């Protein structure tokens, strides 16, 4: 099996685009919950930008001074920035999960985390403790009138969309059975021909063989489809892409040895081993729930996030961020001390899946270190032209994300805006300038890059975070507005935007 050739030269002599201490400070816990109108705005909020930007991510990187082993284990803290009539209101609240409340009351770590956090006291304290804390920290969506904080291994927590107060664990009106999860990467398919939008999501029950369950919900949150499929092997699936006919997963070539986890010596993620000699499998689950599941093989690589997928002349295209291998979660050591040059960086790849002969081909789209891709919401599951992604400032080598990259997939032209040396980027969220309903009324077509990119950045110079608004048509001219928060928000994971102005 040829190994995926990730083509980034490691240039040891290259001067870093950032200061390490700056980067590390973006991982300080944020203990405060705030609620205010943002009064420090550079530039102007576009008057046609109205709605609510939500973002989720770890708010705590320590519990009362006891260090969390990996940011993926940090308790979920949701930020909401409501934009209306040229003004913006900020609010952040921790998701009051059972584990968050218990540890807050106790003032210490009570739970093991998937990514290495152990209860203090060594393996004897952790042995046979298989309870994993639902930290609700990965994504946040507003769907069917519910605001849901998502974490892939459990049911979502529902929050009040205006106050962000936690309402509680939510079964989506009984769609989720007890113990069933709802992944953190739903895809929203735009309704065609007057039909409403659909939310497509999944859950995985990993084991010696794994069960993938697909859920499709209408705009009101009512269940349209639910079907489960057993696939061979241990599945570690974080993301999914959809086309009109398929849900597509990349099954990374990993094995899982549960023994050190059971014995309390290692966390679950630390028992995952990348197998460089096994293929990566593309798993295609038909959305009708009845046709046969197809499994295609390609070179070993590791994928957390996909950008998009679409069908064209009997072939399926999938754009994904690929790593050479699974970044090991070491049992010792501090993630803040990570040596970027020793771990694989993400690159953007395009896979072509041929359903007739079962062959998979791929080509490199972008070698610059990148993560957190996005696109215009109307093109999810469809051919598309413009892709936006967090990227390193430097075109070579692995580094923290400090820039936003726009790629024209047709011409392969690029635009980049960088906040280096003292700014650090998160996931961009694309907001169309004009709602589709209005365009249809005016008899206009969508212009795919006519919209805004919203990015929550960490500004190390002032140890605070800033929401930047970029004009997606030309990001090189820099943000049209910087909305400076009064505090920093630790580096986050995923977010979303709704045109609803959700303010109490
Ligand atoms: Co993700």
- Pair of tokens at residue 478: 């820099």
Count CA within 13 A, CB hemisphere, residue 194: 0
What is the 198 CA–ligand 1 centroid distance (Å)? Answer: 20
Residue 206: burial class (beta carbons within 10 Å; 0-12, 13-18, 19+): middle
The dihedral region occupied by 83, where left means phi > 0, alpha psi between -120 and 50, and beta the remainder, is beta
What is the 371 CA–ligand 1 centroid distance (Å)? Answer: 10
What is the 356 CA–ligand 1 centroid distance (Å)? Answer: 31
β-bridge pairing 370-374 and 481-484: unpaired
What is the 390 CA–ligand 1 centroid distance (Å)? Answer: 13
Closest CA to 30 of 465, 372, 333: 465
What is the 494 CA–ligand 1 centroid distance (Å)? Answer: 6
What is the 151 CA–ligand 1 centroid distance (Å)? Answer: 10
Do the Cβ atoms of 414 and 405 come closer than 8 Å?
yes
Q: Over 251-267, what HEC string results?
A: ECCEEECCHHHHCCCCC
What is the 47 CA–ligand 1 centroid distance (Å)? Answer: 31
Residue 324: burial class (beta carbons within 10 Å; 0-12, 13-18, 19+): buried
What is the 86 CA–ligand 1 centroid distance (Å)? Answer: 31
Do the Cβ atoms of 375 and 409 come closer than 8 Å?
no
Query: How many residues belong to the chain?
Result: 504
Q: Is 84 helix (H, G, I), strand (E, B) or coil?
A: strand
Closest CA to 372 of 442, 298, 424: 424
pTM: 0.93
**Residue 120 to residues 63, 80, 262, 265: CA-CA distances in angstroms?**
11, 34, 16, 12
What is the 235 CA–ligand 1 centroid distance (Å)? Answer: 16
What is the 118 CA–ligand 1 centroid distance (Å)? Answer: 23
Q: Distance between CA atoms of 92 and 94, rounded to whole angstroms?
A: 7
**Residue 306 to residues 12, 191, 265, 502: CA-CA distances in angstroms?**
29, 21, 32, 29
Count CA within 13 A, CB hemisphere, residue 60: 30
What is the 239 CA–ligand 1 centroid distance (Å)? Answer: 6
Residue 307: burial class (beta carbons within 10 Å; 0-12, 13-18, 19+): buried
What is the 138 CA–ligand 1 centroid distance (Å)? Answer: 7
Closest CA to 135 of 147, 122, 153: 153
- Pair of tokens at residue 41: 């705005």
What is the 144 CA–ligand 1 centroid distance (Å)? Answer: 22
What is the 424 CA–ligand 1 centroid distance (Å)? Answer: 18
What is the 247 CA–ligand 1 centroid distance (Å)? Answer: 16
Q: Distance between CA atoms of 317 and 309, rounded to whole angstroms?
A: 5
Edge-to-edge strand order for the sheet containing 209-217?
A: 187-189, 198-205, 209-217, 223-232
Q: Distance between CA atoms of 335 and 69, rounded to whole angstroms?
A: 7
Residues forming beta bridges with residue 360, ordered by sequence position: 353
What is the 491 CA–ligand 1 centroid distance (Å)? Answer: 13
Q: Is 461 helix (H, G, I), strand (E, B) or coil?
A: coil
What is the 124 CA–ligand 1 centroid distance (Å)? Answer: 32
- Pair of tokens at residue 110: 């009570």
What is the 121 CA–ligand 1 centroid distance (Å)? Answer: 31
Residues forming beta bridges with residue 363, ordered by sequence position: 350
Q: Distance between CA atoms of 19 and 217, rounded to whole angstroms?
A: 45
What is the 150 CA–ligand 1 centroid distance (Å)? Answer: 10
β-bridge pairing 157-159 and 370-374: unpaired
- Pair of tokens at residue 354: 């041929």
What is the 357 CA–ligand 1 centroid distance (Å)? Answer: 31
What is the 401 CA–ligand 1 centroid distance (Å)? Answer: 15
Q: Distance between CA atoms of 208 and 34, rounded to whole angstroms?
A: 45
- Pair of tokens at residue 196: 């409403």
Do the Cβ atoms of 135 and 96 come closer than 8 Å?
no
What is the 306 CA–ligand 1 centroid distance (Å)? Answer: 9
What is the 331 CA–ligand 1 centroid distance (Å)? Answer: 22
Spatial CB neighbours of 428, under 8 Å, sequence gap ≥ 6: 372, 374, 388, 389, 390, 404, 453, 454, 455, 470
What is the 304 CA–ligand 1 centroid distance (Å)? Answer: 6
What is the 85 CA–ligand 1 centroid distance (Å)? Answer: 31
Residues forming beta bridges with residue 97, ordered by sequence position: none
Q: Is 457 helix (H, G, I), strand (E, B) or coil?
A: strand
What is the 321 CA–ligand 1 centroid distance (Å)? Answer: 11
What is the 3 CA–ligand 1 centroid distance (Å)? Answer: 24
- Pair of tokens at residue 460: 């190390």
Residue-by-residue pLDDT tens, the chain, 504 positions? 444 555 555 455 578 999 999 999 999 999 999 999 999 999 999 999 999 999 999 999 999 898 888 888 899 999 999 999 999 999 999 999 999 999 999 999 998 777 777 777 676 666 666 567 899 999 999 999 999 999 999 999 999 999 999 999 999 999 999 999 999 999 999 998 889 999 999 999 988 899 999 999 999 999 999 999 999 988 889 999 999 999 999 998 877 777 776 666 777 777 777 778 889 999 999 999 999 999 999 988 889 999 999 999 989 999 999 998 776 666 667 788 888 888 889 999 999 999 999 999 999 999 999 999 999 999 999 999 999 999 999 999 999 999 999 999 999 999 999 999 999 999 999 999 976 556 666 666 668 999 999 999 999 999 999 999 999 999 999 999 999 999 999 999 999 999 999 998
Residues forming beta bridges with residue 214, ordered by sequence position: 202, 227
């Amino acid at each position: 099996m040829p190994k995926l050739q990730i083509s980034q030269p490691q240039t040891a002599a290259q001067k870093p685009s950032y200061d390490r201490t700056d980067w590390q400070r973006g991982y300080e816990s944020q203990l405060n919950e705030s609620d205010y109108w943002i009064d420090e705005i550079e530039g102007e909020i576009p008057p046609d930008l109205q709605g609510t930007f939500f973002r989720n991510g770890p708010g705590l990187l320590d519990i009362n001074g006891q260090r969390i082993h990996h940011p993926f284990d940090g308790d979920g803290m949701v930020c909401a920035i409501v934009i209306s009539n040229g003004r913006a209101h900020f609010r952040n609240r921790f998701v009051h999960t059972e584990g968050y409340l218990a540890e807050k009351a106790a003032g210490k770590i009570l739970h093991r985390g998937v990514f290495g956090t152990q209860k203090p006291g060594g393996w004897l304290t952790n042995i046979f403790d298989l309870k994993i804390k639902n930290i609700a920290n990965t994504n946040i969506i507003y769907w069917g009138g519910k605001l849901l904080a998502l974490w892939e291994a459990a049911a979502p927590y529902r929050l009040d969309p205006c106050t962000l107060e936690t309402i509680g664990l939510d079964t989506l009106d009984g769609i989720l059975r007890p113990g069933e999860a709802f992944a953190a990467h739903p895809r929203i398919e735009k309704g065609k021909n007057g039909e409403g939008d659909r939310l497509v999501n999944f859950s995985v029950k990993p084991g010696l063989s794994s069960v993938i369950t697909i859920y499709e919900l209408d705009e009101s949150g009512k269940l349209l489809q639910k079907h489960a499929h057993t696939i061979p092997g241990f599945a570690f699936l974080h993301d999914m892409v959809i086309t009109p006919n398929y849900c597509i997963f990349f099954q990374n070539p990993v094995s899982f040895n549960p023994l050190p986890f059971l014995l309390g010596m290692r966390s679950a993620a630390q028992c995952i081993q990348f197998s460089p000699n096994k293929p990566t499998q593309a798993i295609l689950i038909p959305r009708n729930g009845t046709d046969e599941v197809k499994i295609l093989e390609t070179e070993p690589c590791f994928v957390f996030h996909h950008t998009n997928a679409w069908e064209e002349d009997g072939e399926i295209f999938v754009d994904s961020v690929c790593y050479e291998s699974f970044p090991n979660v070491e049992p010792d050591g501090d993630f803040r001390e990570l040596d970027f040059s020793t771990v694989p960086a993400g690159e953007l790849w395009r896979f072509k899946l041929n359903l007739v002969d079962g062959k998979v081909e791929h080509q490199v789209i972008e070698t610059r270190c990148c993560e957190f891709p996005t696109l215009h919401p109307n093109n999810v599951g469809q051919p598309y032209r413009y892709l936006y992604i967090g990227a390193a400032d430097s075109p070579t080598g692995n580094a923290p994300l400090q820039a936003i990259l726009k790629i024209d997939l047709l011409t392969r032209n690029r635009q980049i805006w960088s906040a280096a040396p003292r700014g650090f980027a998160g996931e961009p969220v694309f907001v169309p300038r004009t709602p589709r309903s209005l365009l249809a009324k005016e008899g206009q077509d969508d212009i795919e890059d006519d919209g805004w990119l919203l990015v929550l950045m960490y500004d190390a110079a002032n140890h605070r975070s800033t929401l930047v608004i970029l004009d997606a048509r030309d990001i090189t001219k820099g943000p049209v507005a910087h909305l400076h928060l009064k505090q920093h928000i630790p580096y986050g994971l995923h977010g979303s935007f709704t045109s609803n102005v959700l303010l109490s």
